[in-house]
Structure 1
Amino acid sequence: MGDHAQPWQNRLRVAGFQPFSTVDWPGTIAAVVFLQGCPWRCTYCHNPELQERSVPPSIHWSAVEAKLAKRIGWLDGVVFSGGEPTVDRALPEAIARVKEMGFRVGLHTGGAYPDRLARLLGMLDWVGLDLKTSPEEYAALTGAPGSGNNAYHSATLVARSGVPYECRLTYHPQVVSDDTARLLVRCAKTLGCERFVIQEFRPTPNPDAAGLTTHVSMPAALLEELRGILPGIELRTSS
């Protein structure tokens, strides 16, 4: 039997489940479902083990659903994360099922598949979309040609959707220069992204993230300059 003939519960590749989080969806007590697979190979990726789509699921959806059922009334929502969760074509069915259970649904995405994201937006209650660098520098960072166009197209879709969201940049000066940060924030403003968060880089054990082993704060002067471009930028510290 081909993969597409399988029930969606068997096709969804769940890589992990976090039963309780207060940080993955700000202001919301949520569980997090991590899906396997990502088309990008960012050197500072915190979850490189989730990149390969061919890895079998570590948890079957039935076990995830059983855990969620026990938390009805305790959780406000469920966040689908990754990897890049929109890589999984069974994601719409999983979102629909979580909604049936009475949970609100959030999504973490890098915007790799804008067409798929567009079809999901009407089902979502919140989106956290990562903008990694300026459009021109995306391919060098992700290893994927066209990734910048996809990410910024996705940001436009999210900003215009009416769905609550945040666009966010993870800051490290070895990845994002001051000039790149300025350009990125100007682009975000042009796209209509009014809710923008700068996240401080957290050290990662990923051996490929050479040199990115220490916490680095964004300089206060640069932050204020960026807020002059796009007022209301939030700084989210790693502490």
Structure 2
Amino acid sequence: MPIPVGLPTRADATAAQPLRVGGLTPLTTIDFPGRLAAVVYCQGCPWRCSYCHNPGLLDATVPAAVPWPQVLAFLETRRGLLDGVVFSGGEPTLQAALPAALAEVRAMGFQTALHTGGMYPERLAAVLPLLDWVGLDIKGPLNASGAFDAITRTPGSGARTFDALRRLLASGVACECRTTWHAGLFGVEALLELADTLAGEGVAHWVLQECRAPGAAAWGLTAQQAARLGERFASFAVRRG
């Protein structure tokens, strides 16, 4: 969980001031490919994935840990030092203030990135013109087994994410799809099926991440199976640990 930072609060109010920020990471080299960036963690998420790595950000009613003007004050000190700002969560598109926040950050000269589960396809489409890169979480296969909706504990979530995926790919905004694989929730054959589905949708960049949550099933993917997954994509990576 990110730790709130203490900085002087800017006196001026902004259109994005209602943005509820749960924390701020001052520097990352891994969350925005090829850029040095800060990460703004947005409070609130409508899904309840059992392996969520930021459970403290789920409750949308929790007050902001870092006021938005304070985030801007921090970014002012990083002009010329950082390339971009990542909006992560939680789920950033849950908040109506996100477009204004993105616009303000871009006006300061930073590139912008978004981490999202795609649960609000229309809202994602609305902010795509304000984004340089998107990391879209694909929770699982979209099939009759219902694995996707079982993971999020939200009916219809899989259909919404794949709607968001199609809008994202059609936009031309640089993006990466990521799947956190918990072998106890769906097996290797379903993983291969998901790879086929994503490739069929036109996904070029896919990352498979190991689920590190307590009690998660042991990693059961062989090097040969990983190679089968990767042959469908222009770039494919496995992230473990």
C-alpha distance in 2 between matches for 1:118 and 1:237: 28
Aligned residue pairs total 226
- Correspondence for 2:58: 51
- Correspondence for 1:122: 129
- Correspondence for 1:75: 82
C-alpha distance in 2 between matches for 1:194 and 1:144: 27
1:222 aligned onto 2:225: yes
C-alpha distance in 2 between matches for 1:217 and 1:82: 28
C-alpha distance in 1 between matches for 2:158 and 2:38: 30
Amino acid at match of 1:176: F
| SS of the residue 1:11 aligns to | coil
Q: Deviations over 1:88-113 (max 9, x none)?
A: 11000000000000000000001010
- Correspondence for 1:237: 239
Q: Which deviates more from structure 2 when the two are superposed, residues 171-180 or residues 141-150?
A: 171-180
Q: Is the 8 A contact 1:92 1:120 kept in 2?
A: yes
Q: Deviations over 1:155-187 (max 9, x none)?
A: 111112111110111123123311211121111
- Correspondence for 2:19: 12
Report 1:142-157 matches (<5 A).
Answer: 142-157=152-167
| Structure 1 residue 215, shift from structure 2 partner | 6.8
- Correspondence for 2:6: none
C-alpha distance in 2 between matches for 1:83 and 1:12: 12
User: 5+ residue gaps in structure 1?
Assistant: 1-5
- Aligned-pair identity in percent equals 42
Q: CA RMSD in A?
A: 1.7
TM-score, normalised via structure 1 length: 0.89
* Distance change (3 Å), C-alpha of 1:59 and 1:190: same
List, as ranges, runs of 4+ consecutive aligned residues in structure 1 with deviation greater than 6 Å.
none
| Structure 1 residue 233, shift from structure 2 partner | 4.1
C-alpha distance in 1 between matches for 2:151 and 2:226: 23
Report 1:83-232 matches (<5 A).
Answer: 83-135=90-142, 136-201=146-211, 203-204=212-213, 211-212=215-216, 216=219, 218-228=221-231, 230-232=232-234
TM-score, normalised via structure 2 length: 0.88
C-alpha distance in 1 between matches for 2:170 and 2:124: 13
Q: Is the 8 A contact 2:119 2:161 kept in 1?
A: yes
C-alpha distance in 1 between matches for 2:200 and 2:29: 31
User: 5+ residue gaps in structure 2?
Assistant: 1-12
* Distance change (3 Å), C-alpha of 1:26 and 1:215: farther
| SS of the residue 2:93 aligns to | helix
| Structure 1 residue 232, shift from structure 2 partner | 3.3
| Structure 1 residue 231, shift from structure 2 partner | 3.2
- Correspondence for 1:3: none
C-alpha distance in 2 between matches for 1:75 and 1:226: 34
Amino acid at match of 1:142: T
| SS of the residue 2:30 aligns to | coil
**Which has the larger helix fraction?**
1
Q: Is the 8 A contact 1:108 1:127 kept in 2?
A: yes
